[in-house]
Structure 1
């Protein structure tokens, strides 16, 4: 039994360590000339101090690669801040996990703080996006309602799934709620930061740039992360081993 337990522990550790830690530069802009991620989170929080530690509370890389919509079927995204040098060409959206070329833009370079869009899938997986100009389009059809986020800097595209990035760099960090109230640009009232709401921060430069992840910061609502198949397979193998061992002991 000890050997089985040790094996399971090793599997669990391997699954946990499959998410490489992402180092976030605490100096905004690399030299302190910009707001860093902690200052941005504090800035939207009631009382000015977020319960989220920007440099340690981000989700593991493997846990923020894939996402799905919430139970209501409609999700939204709100721009908090964009301070990259090429803000006029940056864009953000979601992509079909079975075909990264099938992308739906949510924010274009024109989007500013407080811009809000909503997106939803119907039963045949046609994607509807309502943008900040109150326009809608339904010309995207995904293979499932599991998707990833992408960031396009005009010269290259980076994905929430690090394995798809040509430079092998993690270009997105995600923060889950730790409680407390927040107020996003364009919304003067403070409301609770709910469990199905996540703040995303992007690094827009190939190879990682200054690593401050403040080039575009936004909140997505009514979404949930989807564990990657590899992580689930490791866990499944571990628990299957315990089940087989338990059955053998019972039949002995």
Structure 2
């Protein structure tokens, strides 16, 4: 199991490029709403036990989403789990996703990703799904979508989780079995998390996606929404890594030209 932050060269380049090329441009924070969720899945008591079974990854005896987020919060206002967003899908942008934590018996099998909202089959099921984290991924792992993948999503995208049984849950409630809410989404509010030594800054425009990985009626379905928790940073129009380097070279050339003109 990985315990340290893993960043690919692509991820590092995209992150740096976003800061350099965009000058801090972020999507505006979305308004939050206060719960409740559906009565059957209203942050129910978890079946995970601290120090036992799938709960061995809990950091608190309560093992709830609220207590886990509180434990990892080191600065800022923190998160009230009932202050989740009303949005179920979002305008497409560049994405950098960080796997924060998983507390689930299926954590070694669950996969997470994004789907194109407007590509559906005859049964109204999404057909373009792009996996970001596979079941084998663990630890504080960050991955970015390529520009080709981003373009394939069209205008709007949502998030999904597929569990060990091959059942897929979406951030769009209507796509889920019985229309249940299997994910809660929070908007960035300048909270800082420290996950096993890795700092995650939850900035305005960022998202936090927290999934429940079992459907209603299944054994151990507890609606605790801490089965997979992912931080997502969204940016508009992040250039390809090669373009970022090219822009840097162009900027350097312009500076040199201006210096020569001043002489």
Shorter-chain-normalised TM-score: which range? Answer: 0.5 to 0.7
Q: Secondary structure at the match of 1:207?
A: coil
CA distance in 1, matches of 2:85, 2:46: 20
The aligned residue for residue 88 of structure 1 is 108
Q: Out of 213, 231, 241, which is 2:225 matched to?
A: 213
After TM superposition, the structure 1 = structure 2 runs for residues 226-241 of structure 1, keeping only pairs within 5 Å, are none
What is the aligned-residue RMSD (CA, Å)?
2.9
- For the 8 Å contact 2:115–2:153, the answer to whether it is kept is no
The aligned residue for residue 79 of structure 2 is 52
Aligned CA distance change for structure 1 residues 51 and 83 (closer, same or farther; 3 Å): closer
How far did residue 29 of structure 1 move?
2.5
Aligned residues: 182
Query: Is 1:43 aligned with 2:66?
Result: no
Scaled by the length of structure 2, what TM-score is found? 0.60
- For the 8 Å contact 1:77–1:218, the answer to whether it is kept is yes
Aligned CA distance change for structure 1 residues 118 and 25 (closer, same or farther; 3 Å): same
Q: Out of 179, 186, 192, which is 1:168 matched to?
A: 179
How far did residue 185 of structure 1 move?
4.5
The aligned residue for residue 21 of structure 1 is 37
Scaled by the length of structure 1, what TM-score is found? 0.63
After TM superposition, the structure 1 = structure 2 runs for residues 172-187 of structure 1, keeping only pairs within 5 Å, are 172-185=183-196, 187=198
Q: Out of 213, 224, 232, which is 1:204 matched to?
A: 213
The aligned residue for residue 8 of structure 1 is none
CA distance in 2, matches of 1:143, 1:221: 16
CA distance in 2, matches of 1:52, 1:174: 11
Q: Secondary structure at the match of 1:58?
A: strand
CA distance in 1, matches of 2:140, 2:115: 23
Query: Is 1:115 aligned with 2:141?
Result: yes
- For the 8 Å contact 2:37–2:181, the answer to whether it is kept is no
The aligned residue for residue 240 of structure 1 is none
The aligned residue for residue 127 of structure 2 is 101
- For the 8 Å contact 1:30–1:211, the answer to whether it is kept is no
1:1-21, CA deviations, whole angstroms, 9 ceiling, x for partnerless residues? xxxxxxxxxxxxxxx99x973
CA distance in 1, matches of 2:190, 2:168: 32
In structure 2, the gaps of 5 or more residues are 1-31, 120-125, 237-263
In structure 1, the gaps of 5 or more residues are 1-15, 129-140, 225-252
How far did residue 223 of structure 1 move?
5.9
Aligned CA distance change for structure 1 residues 143 and 45 (closer, same or farther; 3 Å): closer
How far did residue 82 of structure 1 move?
1.1
Q: Secondary structure at the match of 1:127?
A: helix
